[in-house]
Amino acid sequence: MTGTFTHDPPSAAGGRQSRPLIITEDAELLDDLLRLCAAAGATPEVHHCVPERGGGWEAAPLVLVGDDAARRVRGAARRHGVVLVGRDQDDPGVWKRAVRIGADHVLMLPDGEQWLVDRIADVAEGVGRPALTVGVIGGRGGAGASTLACALAVTSAREGLRTLLVDADPLGGGLDVLLGGETAEGLRWPAFAASRGRVGSGALEESLPRLHSLRVLSWDRGDCVAIPPQAVRAVLAAARRRGGTVVVDLPRRIDDSVAEALAQVDIGLLVVPAELRAVAAAGRVASAAGMVLRDLRVAVRGPYAPGLDDREVARLLGLPLAGEVPVETGLLRPHEGKAPPGAARGPLARFCTGFWERALVEAGAA
């Protein structure tokens, strides 16, 4: 059981990590709250009453007041981010006590545990603007979607943005290979297959291989070719909480796990070679992806078949045109020990730079 009052939620100033404050003398309740803080990756400050020194009451991003301590905090200065925590589901007096201390929220354990873990994790991590998340999907096999995804990520990192590249295609050969980092240390998708609930965003970022100034979540060379939908949801949500940009290389077949990825994508790019068979195949992919993804745009790749240009391809697919993807050698062949896609300041890099400039302005992040 939980209940909310109409106060604005607290935020960690400047996105800094901060310690929640616990006020209670109930040993059993304290054990539960410490357990939930540990699950959220936070180390709290604990007091039996309002701290007299150090400004803990005012400075803490979140204050968890045990119902036993409500009377002892009644004289404290009013502030946002106070949660009154109790256990008695049938006690109507808890709402009066919450109003008297200016609580934003009333929470009863154990029902509200997951909500509280998420709230504690938010303040521990310092939640800001979520990452602008772009999904890239090929209209047909060999369209160059993986290379474009890598180029977008490399360009984003070069512009100084925190960038995570996610390989959501288990049969694609591995984006770490395309970036020349298949032996780089760090975790791959199989390590997250059992993830449930909330994944710590900072821990996720630090655990992944760092290649070309960005983090990469790819596949290992093992037999695991599927990640449960709930794990995909948890990992991508953690990636988005870190801010910056996330680029997801998507397979053409939309299963439950891919649908979870699409649900967290802000902009989808459908890469379509300018030929009639590719347009026909891309139409089927667009129909499936469009059931989940609201903003799907077409990126057209030449050379052009007779009678086709980028605008005509977009018209045939009924999608907005994101632009023409320049034809470069790197777009047609896998990484061969040279610079990764988008690293050289050529036409492909210019396409990616222009895309990010527009997308970030649209998202209000520039």
Q: Three-class SS of residue 265?
A: coil
Pairwise CA distance, residues 252 & 172, whole Å: 11
Structure tokens at 51: 């701290």
Half-sphere exposure of 283 (CA within 13 A, CB side): 10
pLDDT tens digits for the chain (366 residues)?
A: 545 443 333 344 333 446 899 999 999 999 999 999 998 888 999 999 999 865 689 989 999 999 999 999 999 999 999 999 999 888 989 999 999 999 999 999 999 998 898 889 888 877 678 899 999 999 999 999 999 999 999 999 999 999 999 999 988 888 998 898 989 999 999 999 988 777 888 889 999 999 999 999 999 888 888 899 999 999 999 999 889 999 999 999 999 999 999 999 999 999 999 999 999 999 999 999 999 998 999 999 988 999 899 999 999 999 999 999 987 665 444 445 567 888 878 899 999 999 999 999 998 866
Residue in this structure with the two tokens 């240009």, named with its chain if needed: 309
Pairwise CA distance, residues 87 & 110, whole Å: 7
pLDDT for residue 121: 85
Pairwise CA distance, residues 109 & 291, whole Å: 38
pLDDT for residue 7: 36
Rounded alpha-carbon distances, angstroms, from residue 236 to 39, 164, 243: 19, 10, 12
Name residue 248's beta-bridge partners. Answer: 135, 166
pLDDT for residue 4: 42
The DSSP annotation for 164-180 comes to: EEEE--TTS--HHHHTT
Structure tokens at 57: 């009451």
The dihedral through the CA atoms of 54, 58, 61, 63 has a sign that is: positive
Strand duo 321-325 + 245-250: pairing? unpaired
Pairwise CA distance, residues 239 & 201, whole Å: 6
Task: Using alpha carbons, select from 199, 221, 326 the residue that is nearest to residue 271.
Answer: 326
